[in-house]
Amino acid sequence: MLQGKTALVTGSTSGIGLGMALTLARHGAKVMLNGFGDVDGAVAQVKALGGAVAYHGADMRDPAQIEAMVRACGEQLGGPDILINNAGIQHVAQVEDFPVERWDAIIAINLSSAFHAMRVALPGMKARGWGRVINIASAHGLVASAGKSAYVAAKHGIVGLTKAAALECATGGVTVNAICPGWVLTPLVQKQIDDRAAAGGISVEQAQRNLLAEKEPSLRFTTPEQLAELAVFMCSPAGDNVLGVAWNMDGGWLAQ
């Protein structure tokens, strides 16, 4: 379904971003990956699906590198026709203890990077008359939890950015939407589970059960592949008139 389209997925060497990249590639899209860590492993997994793949190592804290990444995508693969702003980090601390450098990094990576990628990618999408921007927000884009001030501020911000940009694009074939996952078992969440186990003197399995029980009536993690299929729907013709939504997939977290 996505043959001829190019997707740029930020933070796609791991977790949700890698799931998005693999699923979009399975649906026929060319994919530019981004992120740190096991770059070769991520590139090999997407390449194994047979389509065109590229990688750019832009640091999402740096607007100039983000701009270079979007332009490199156009030069190497075309587009981007689909932009998934997914890169994100977490830090848990009370406001008065929150390291200033961590606040700045979270706002830069989880919020401002999406603005920088969009401001460079949107003109091409508008000129071609088709585009999809999908911002990976969070249940924390819609409700808060204690200890996550920077993350909650960034995720609420990206929901607002999504709505404003969607209105600007409303008549031109370009849609802008957000996906708001609940818990997904990725390295970002595994660290929180490990920290809870250590702080509470409980097993990792018990800490995982507690984490789910606090927020998610389903008591189950959402998978990156389930989130990616929602992104595929947003890229399909059926998604043409879905504009500015913050769509939660969260095991009932926000229904409470």
- Assess 254 for contact with ligand NAD (CB under 6 A): no
End-to-end Cα, the chain, rounded Å: 36
Binding mask 77-106 for ligand NAD (x = CB under 6 A): ---------xxxx-----------------
- Assess 190 for contact with ligand NAD (CB under 6 A): no
What own/partner pairs with CB < 8 Å and gap ≥ 24 does 143-147 have? 143/253, 143/254, 145/215, 146/94, 147/92, 147/93, 147/94
Binding-site member from 61, 91, 126, 209 for ligand NAD (CB under 6 A) = 61
Candidates 12-20, 166-174, 207-215, 232-240; binding stretch for ligand NAD (CB under 6 A): 12-20
Q: How far is the CB of 49 from ligand NAD (least distance, A)?
A: 18
Candidates 67-75, 114-122, 181-189, 232-240; binding stretch for ligand NAD (CB under 6 A): 181-189
Binding-site member from 68, 144, 188, 254 for ligand NAD (CB under 6 A) = 188
- Assess 162 for contact with ligand NAD (CB under 6 A): no
Judge whether 55 counts as a catalytic residue: no
The residues annotated with a catalytic role in the active site are 151
Binding site for ligand NAD (CB under 6 A): 11-17, 34-37, 59-61, 86-89, 109-110, 136, 138, 181, 183-184, 186-189
